[in-house]
Amino acid sequence: LVQSQYWDGNRLVYIDSIDDETFLSLKDELRKDSYVVKLEQAKRNTLQEIREIMVEYLPIIIPLFLIGFLGVVCISILNTLKHMRNFAIFFICGMRWKDSILICLSYIAYIISGVLILCIPGYVWLKDLLDTGGIMAANNYLFTLGALLAVMLLSLVTPFLLIRKEEPIKVLRKVG
């Protein structure tokens, strides 16, 4: 059974259960107009290309991720310090300190959703420019969502520590 399909200007030919002699004769015939490899070799070539791309882009991606993470943590700390007086008043009125973490989480979610909204036009523009050919699959989106959730949860650690160590009366006396 022979199947073929065109993808991005290339023709892919799939042949089920073929002996080596027939493959070599077809290979010689197809080699006149194209590049011929077996599926195993195509897979090895693809994995090698992925490795090369990762080696090229990871030194850029990791620092950008860390800078973004540090920015979200700093914004979270600044928001917590800015609203510490409000948290102290809420605590005196009966709210638990742990509930103030939910308020901090809403700040972080607001910031990240704003960044995502600002990134959508850039993604739409780059999607056509890069022509990923199906590389932007669902697992990539899930990984990105997981990374954003990890950033949100990890950026709550410092506000939680800031809020937990303070006493409401001392906070009100310091802030005024």
pLDDT at position 50, please? 81
CA dihedral 151, 81, 84, 160 (to 10 degrees): 30
Residue 161 pLDDT = 82
What pLDDT sits at residue 170?
Answer: 78
User: Tens digits of per-residue pLDDT, 77-129?
Assistant: 888 888 888 888 888 888 887 788 888 888 888 888 887 787 777 666 666 55
DSSP state of 134: T
Q: How confident is the model at residue 9 (pLDDT cuts 50, 70, 90)?
A: low
pLDDT digits (tens, 9 = 90+) for 141-169: 777 778 888 888 888 888 888 777 777 77
Q: What is the 3-state secondary structure (H, E, C) of 77-132?
A: HHHHHHCHHHHHHHHHCCCCHHHHHHHHHHHHHHHHHHHHHHHHHHHHHHHHHHCC
Any idea what DSSP says for residue 33?
T
123-137: burial string, b at 16+ Cβ within 10 Å, e else: eeeeeeeeeeeeeee
